[in-house]
Amino acid sequence: MKETVKVAIVICDRYKSCAGGKCFRSLQNREGAFSRYAGKDVELVGFTSCGACPGGNIEYAPEEMKKNGAQVVHLATGLVVGYPPCPHIDYFCDFITSRYGLEVVVGTHPIPQKYYNVHEALGTWNTPEWQNRIKPALADERTRLAYD
């Protein structure tokens, strides 16, 4: 029997009406930050927005996600590709881990190429910290193009 990993997704409130298509597709295909689950069964046990800046829902939503069995919380790729990227992302990671003992992964679906190009031109991710943050969702160009 394969190991089942229970995950939850938190999206940026700017995209609160998002249907989750790219996240769900990448989860199904084990692409982007979900590639870490290749060969494993995954169950999605929560999906919500951060609650708008400065992230009020981060205080409460992970508790319910954990009650639903969440082991890992993915902060959606939208938090890093938005203009500007989420200024609270490090705090979200630290808080969720400290308060709820859950692993946090930055990213869901692969970064779309169109966002990659703009952020490269802007120099948004030209620091070691940002390179580390985007690494889970940074795929090859062909895959990024498939998520445009």
HSE-CB at 135 with a 13 A cutoff on CA atoms is: 9
Listed in sequence order, the residues at least 6 apart from 28 whose beta carbon sits closer than 8 Å to its beta carbon are: none
Asked if the model's pLDDT at residue 116 lies above 60, the reply is yes
pLDDT digits (tens, 9 = 90+) for 42-97: 999 999 999 999 999 999 999 999 999 999 999 999 999 999 999 999 999 999 99
Q: What pTM, to 2 d.p., does this model score?
A: 0.95
- Show the domains of the chain with their CATH numbers: 4-146 (3.40.50)
Q: Give CA 65 to chain center in angstroms.
A: 15
- Residue 13's nearest CA partner among 68, 63, 57 is 57
Cis peptide before 84 (omega within 30 of 0): yes
Q: What are the tokens at 103?
A: 């692993």
Strand partners, 103: 72
pLDDT tier at 1 (50, 70, 90 boundaries)?
A: low
